[in-house]
Structure 1
């Protein structure tokens, strides 16, 4: 993975002219990451190439979080035209690998991650678009747009929208918070003094349950139902919210997991990334549990009629069945 041509000049302008540029793992987008290594310091170079990516939302939310005491990386410099941003380096200690290597740390680190979301409730939402019913519908539709055709399922798309329409009112009326939208163990770093946050450029103003379900129904690692229940209870006890929040948690869990199944299918079919379909069975497991909540009865009825349990799984495997 070669750095962008403009990177050396960009780094030189910021006083990093002698830095070595080393590749880091990318993500599911067009963004790429590199580590700039100087004699006694390091930083992260984000390559967010226009027109595919726009680094301005990331910079804005990073600064919003940073000024409120949350662990977002400091912005060391940017060239918006080239799509380059130099960030504080949080190191390599991700929550995911730390917990997997030391299971005894799991509860402590997940509690710390939940506590960040509790603190976010204390701040009015950032100046970002609303996570409204239109966005929720558009995301949920990714399942019928990508997953269903991939497995050859002819489904009732209008009935799907109507089913979601019957439940979304329960989640759009709450006082909004800043929703980071991809808050899970692979986007949380262990840094001095706490946890560092990454991948929040798509933040919206929405229901506080969304990021909690993103953390506790993690598409990329198993979160045991007992741990999920304990951490949800911690959130409820600390904030004083009640059953309506639990209802929203499961509605947004079902919506998010349906969206992820669609996105992972799209990453395989459109973007040529075949590792993502294999993550779908875990996501379906979460979705099936969420659908058991009574508030989701209309949505569950649609799934039972259109995608019975045997058609919920790895789309690549089902497509070849």
Structure 2
């Protein structure tokens, strides 16, 4: 990030607070897979806020502001947006501290407890946020996401062709997603985008929210980057969410628990394939480091999902016999 941009955002923050910029302190507060960067602003009285720097040439912050204001008004736990300059790409937000959800995964009991808390937050999001104003997570978007896998992971990174069973899997996963009730979907409800602050679990990075399948955020959480649950553990957590969704009317009697679990496995396969493609794209196109090392974790998530979808056994066999060896060999070859 250029010093001129840091100077500009510091001056913008100072003007917003009516202060001399020399009285402000700015420190790095992290970044993410996009071009956004975050800084902690310390005011003269010791209070802090977060400045989001989202260069407008690469990032459109308008959806973040619109969704954030709407969800905040609905009583959802999201950071308040105190000021924004979309033309410059600067936003001033609540400081939610430095405790993302994964920092609490210190032992099995606490890990389960905090996943249950996050599942309750998904229910709160689905109950309070009207999906009508969000972009549709439709067949076209689901297909574009799935197609990241053959394009970026197979062709560009591994120089592999997709197997003959790919089209059947692709069609089946899209159909399973679209048969679910439509709700507000955060779309990256991974532990890293959930922050504990003042004994409340907050959502951040919600700019890509869509109106989509009921199970999507559940899968982002349970098949995320930090944990791998056994089949029984996964089913038990899904069951907890299912029972609450039934009680609150987001699922009807016509959807059995077994049917919903199968929908979750299909949604998990879709997301794992998308992530494999995205991580390869981040590496090859955006020159971002560290993402390839995470491929085996999401490959295991994919295998876990396919194991529960016997109609896609042919693709599962290809993953085990061709894809896994190819990924591991390519990773080994690229290790210094």
Structure-2-length-normalised TM-score: 0.86
| 2:315 counterpart (292, 300, 317) | 300
Distance in 2, matches of 1:47 and 1:126, equals: 29
CA contact 2:283–2:289 (8 Å) conserved in 1: yes
Residue of structure 2 equivalent to 1:8: 10
- 1:263-282 equivalences under 5 Å are 263-282=278-297
Structure 1: state its 5+ residue gaps. Answer: none
| 1:146 counterpart (152, 157, 163) | 152
Over 3 Å counting, the alpha-carbon distance change for 1:166 and 1:109 in structure 2 is closer
| 2:135 counterpart (121, 125, 129) | 129
| 1:216 counterpart (212, 222, 238) | 222
The question of 1:120 aligning with 2:125 is answered yes
Please report how far the alpha carbon of residue 16 of structure 1 lies from its aligned counterpart in structure 2 after TM superposition: 5.9
Alignment partner of 1:25: what SS? strand
Alignment partner of 1:78: what SS? strand
Distance in 1, matches of 2:311 and 2:75, equals: 37
Please report how far the alpha carbon of residue 159 of structure 1 lies from its aligned counterpart in structure 2 after TM superposition: 5.8
Residue of structure 2 equivalent to 1:22: 27
Residue of structure 2 equivalent to 1:58: 64
Aligned length: 319
| 2:272 counterpart (236, 244, 257) | 257
Distance in 2, matches of 1:76 and 1:7, equals: 14
How large is the Cα RMSD of the aligned pairs? 2.5
Distance in 1, matches of 2:314 and 2:53, equals: 40
Residue of structure 2 equivalent to 1:283: 298
Alignment partner of 1:43: what SS? strand
- 1:75-90 equivalences under 5 Å are 75-90=81-96
The structure with the largest helix share of the pair is 2
Structure-1-length-normalised TM-score: 0.90
Distance in 1, matches of 2:242 and 2:31, equals: 35
Residue of structure 2 equivalent to 1:155: 161
CA contact 1:34–1:44 (8 Å) conserved in 2: yes
Over 3 Å counting, the alpha-carbon distance change for 1:281 and 1:31 in structure 2 is same
Structure 2: state its 5+ residue gaps. Answer: 252-256
Distance in 2, matches of 1:305 and 1:299, equals: 10
